[in-house]
Amino acid sequence: LGNEPNWAHTKMPAKTYVGLLAAFQRGVKRADPDVKVLIAGIAFIDLDYVEALYDAGAAPHFDIMNLHPYAFPAPHHRRG
């Protein structure tokens, strides 16, 4: 659902994204319980954002995490 909510064009708070993800997942699973839900591609493997998603309750609402490990010069997100 979506693309890079943690970066440039979107910059969506994790809590907001999880609300959308939960609603999307409920609807999709009602239509097809076997479908796999992918979380939006997280830009730059931003572990702080991934942790914020889990803290906001994302875990039960997706089946596959999608990370975008870019290598071009751009802001780097590092833990600690």
Give CA–CA dist 27/47, Å, rounded: 28
Give the residue, 72 or 56, on which the prediction is more confident: 56
Does the pLDDT at position 9 exceed 60?
yes
Does the pLDDT at position 68 exceed 90?
no
Query: What are the tokens at 76?
Result: 């780097």
How sure is the predictor about 1, in pLDDT bands with cuts at 50, 70 and 90? confident
Does the pLDDT at position 36 exceed 90?
yes
Q: What pLDDT is attached to residue 65? A: 93
- Convert the pLDDT of each residue in 41-67 to its tens digit: 898 888 999 999 999 999 999 999 988
With CA atoms as reference, report the closest residue to 66 among 77, 15, 44, 80. Answer: 44
